[in-house]
Amino acid sequence: MSSEQSSESQKIHEVAAIFCYHKLCDVTLRNLESLKKHNPGMPVILISNGGEVMQDSLNSRDLLKGKWKDYGPVSPFMKLRNLGYLWHLLKNGVPREYFWRNADMPLYLAYDATRQNISAKRYVFLEWDCYCNVDLSEFYKEVWDADLAAQHVIDSAKEPSWDHFDAKYSRDCPPKGQECLFGIAPLAAILLSDRGLAAICKELKDDTSWRLTFCELRVATIAKYLNLNIQQLPECKRKFLRAAPPCWDFSEVNEPAVWHMVKN
């Protein structure tokens, strides 16, 4: 390692971004370029989630091994009763539903794979369709000290009708999680402290019974179980993360923000 690389690895950044994508389309590349332009000097950790891979990027397929293998699409199903599913994997590849249900895995994989080389006080998880034309420290300033912050924080005691509190999803939580069900929506553009992300990763590795829990339920319920500081973005910021433009292109918007399109 060069002295310059060593100095960079020892520096503690205020914030780093984990940018997750699955295809190298114009939207992905434009959004990545804008993120870097408006946050010069900030580490941007790239991770492909089961699709095309750009240079200098991590790949979730490569990282779902070793200590994370129980969260992959194969290991949990290595039983005779799942032979049909395993045959489907061999013949057709990993079903899209796996990546949808486990959309939080690139967050943990990227953090765990780079934490020895990149140090930051907090991390923002951005998916390929998030457009950022603002300094992240400005956009998240109201929740800067949170362990987990999201556009919508959902407490099962207050909003029990949220889809993923339904038994068909919540039954996949381990028993200890059943008592403190929390959700966040969307998963895109959440902020996590280094302390919070480290604690969540440790819990996932220590107790692999979380492996089938739906992503937006998993990250928030673990944070609640660990008694982490969970905050919701203020309304003045939340509106940008549920935008509904006529197309995928946010590049003409004038207000500085982190933008994410509602797709349903």
Q: Examine residue 206 and state whether it is found in any structural domain, yes or no.
A: no
Flag whether 31 is in a domain: yes
What gap in Å lies between CA 187 and CA 240, rounded to an integer? 14
Predicted TM-score of the model (pTM):
0.88
Is residue 40 packed enough to be buried (19+ CB in 10 Å), middle (13-18) or exposed (0-12)? exposed
Residue 179 belongs to some domain of the structure: no
In a domain, 112, yes or no: yes
In the chain, the number of structural domains is 1
Rounded CA separation 259/257 (Å): 6
Q: Quick: pLDDT tens for 37-54.
A: 999 999 999 999 877 899
Distance separating alpha carbons of residues 22 and 31, to the nearest angstrom: 13
Would you state the torsion angle of the CA atoms of residues 260, 148, 184, 219, taken in this order, to the nearest 10 degrees? 120
Residue-wise pLDDT for 105-151, tens only, equals 999 999 999 999 999 999 999 999 999 999 999 999 999 999 999 99
Residue 92 domain-assigned (yes or no): yes
Residue 71 within a domain: yes
Say if 157 falls within a structural domain.
Answer: no
pLDDT digits (tens, 9 = 90+) for 201-234: 999 999 999 998 999 999 999 999 999 999 999 9
Which residues constitute the domain of residue 112? 3-151+187-201+229-259
Cα–Cα dist 34/179, whole Å: 41
Q: Is residue 211 part of a domain?
A: no
